[in-house]
A and B are shown apart, each in its own frame.
Chain A
Amino acid sequence: MTWALDHIGDIMFRAGQHAWLAGLPLVLGLVIALPLGWLAARRPRLRALLLTTTGLLYTIPSLALFILLPPLLGTKILDPVNVIVAMTVYTVALLTRTVADGLFSVDGSTQQAAIAMGYGSFARFRAVDLPLAVPVIAAGLRVAAVSNVSIVSVSSLIGISQLGYFLTDGYARSFPTEVWVGIVACLLLALVFDLVIQVVSRVLTPWTRTVAA
């Protein structure tokens, strides 16, 4: 406890880095997964291809991705961009299916009604399907957020600064307190992400809090 208090400045700084490395990919990944999920939901022939491909991406070990990306992107091994890109890949891998599922979850008669009222396909996506898919997408985002927070810590093995540093450093120095501080800090950060996503989802879906008649 005293160790944590003595190093609070360092912990907060690395927590900030960690939040950035895990959070920015969450947003980027969502932006990419939305059109992909939409395609997967609308085009039966593309669906299997998209969902299998994106699903496979998630099986690439993170360390391999952190090491493979620099030559592909022309970045230095220590460049945090590698982590951002890798985490975005994982987020897309998780969210494409979620977005497709969310769009599928929209009631058929609601969609038929929207079509019959003369919504074009993009307008319908924006005004009807997407808002109704928010609860499902938010659930997927929560999983992706926790997954990102945990995977980002691996990047300390290639020397990227974030909370994972306390795990590798504590292990190297055989100093369990530091390892525990790293674990707890990661947990708290994941909780914060979870909370933010839940709050935003609630604000976006006032209709889900009504009591059925």
Chain B
Amino acid sequence: MIRFEGVTKRYADASGTESGDGSVAVDDLTLEAPTGKITVLVGPSGCGKTTTLRMVNRMITPTSGTISIDGRDTASLDVAELRRGIGYVIQHAGLFPHRTVLDNVTTVPRLLGTDKRTARSRAMELIERVGLDPAMARRYPAQLSGGQQQRVGVARALAADPPVMLMDEPFSAVDPVVREQLQNEFLRLQSDLGKTILFVTHDIDEAVKLGDQVAVLRVGGVLAQLDSPATLLADPVDDFVAGFVGRDRGYRALSFAAAPELSLADEPTVSLGASADDVRAVGTPWVLCVGDAGEPLGWVRAAAVESEVTRTVLHRGGTVASTTGSLRALLDAALSSPSGRGVVADADGRLVGTIRAAEVIPAIEARRDAAASPTSAEEATAR
């Protein structure tokens, strides 16, 4: 557990003193990042996120207040030892350009005195674990893409198996598709490793996706709200937080509500290669096509089939919801389906049935009514 207690950071003003009215970057912050959980610090640029993070490993010294890790005041620890026990990942990875991927990853274990061979074999494991080809181990950072460099950054931070990780906008500099991959793999890795993570981002969607709890900071370094992502979206404390979490939050909050068991309609299906007559025999304008394992492939417009169903005539606009997914995915499947019937598959991806938006809405309303009554305020989470 990382605990901030009344932590303030005032940067020196022009006269070079920290006491005068120098700018306050972090203002009387009290916060707990629980063990084994991801705590996200989010807020607009300049609100003191990086400063907060760097005070944990003492790259920045707080003006006042204390920061403790598992009850030990960080100010009382040897600074090199403290830092070697904390993984640190930053925006552009900050890899050592003069060291190979492998030697980058072994840095901290080598500093801690692990022998080269042990450090290297563990590093190879980690390189694979973060999703890199082992052949990359001998490359230099300049030979990797931004996303690959970021993976190496994560592997390097994990190399000495530190209980605590500090991550400063680690995925901000990569393109959206790679970012999403990195986020998903990060969550998978964290579910295995259970590190105590303080994660900084300016992107509220990332915060809500990754955080077990999210701390919203406002400019001036004041903590505006600390809550679970679901609560943050459902109940922002003030206009600033409401504005920051953004539009569509009613809809986005459904991400955190598990899909209830709803009765699904049986959906007649055709296979690839079905003739135009077979398709028209179903009798509806849109017909669902499934693969050999029963996995939904896409909708076919009956009138558009000339001789038989091929992959090129499949309409792919519809999303597929999972029975183990969220209410948001369920509603989205219905809204995005050209037939108006949302496709639902089981955990293995096999078609279970379809559902209409009008059938999902009552489930959403029932959930809200339940949350409003004090006896069942427990929130179901989809993660």
A: residues with CB less than 8 A from B are 107, 109-110, 112-120, 128, 131-132, 205-207, 210-213
Contacts and interface: CB of A to CB of B under 8 A. Distances in A.
Interface in B92-141: 92-99, 107-108, 111, 139-140
Contacts of A206: 140
A116 B83 contact: yes
Q: Which of A112, A131, A210, A213 has the most CB of B within 10 A?
A: A213
Given A118-B111, A128-B98, A210-B142, 10 more contacts: A109-B93, A109-B94, A110-B96, A116-B59, A116-B90, A117-B107, A117-B111, A132-B96, A132-B97, A207-B97
Contacts of B95: 110, 113
Interface of B: 57, 59, 79-84, 86, 88, 90-99, 107-108, 111, 139-140, 142-145, 148, 166
7 contacts: A112-B94, A117-B83, A118-B111, A132-B97, A207-B99, A207-B142, A210-B143
A127 B164 CA distance: 25
Q: Which of A109, A118, A207 has the most CB of B within 10 A?
A: A118
A131 B97 CA distance: 10
Contacts of A112: 59, 90, 94
A62 B139 CA distance: 48
A140 B17 CA distance: 38
B59 A115 contact: yes
B146 to A, nearest CB: 9
A65 B140 CA distance: 47
A125 to B, nearest CB: 14
A119 B111 contact: yes
B94 A113 contact: yes
Contacts of B143: 210-213
A109 B107 contact: no
Contact of A116 (B57, B93, B97, B98): B57
A116 B165 CA distance: 11
Top 3 A-B pairs ranked by shortest CB distance?
A113-B94, A118-B83, A109-B94
A112 B169 CA distance: 14
Contact of A114 (B57, B93, B96): B96
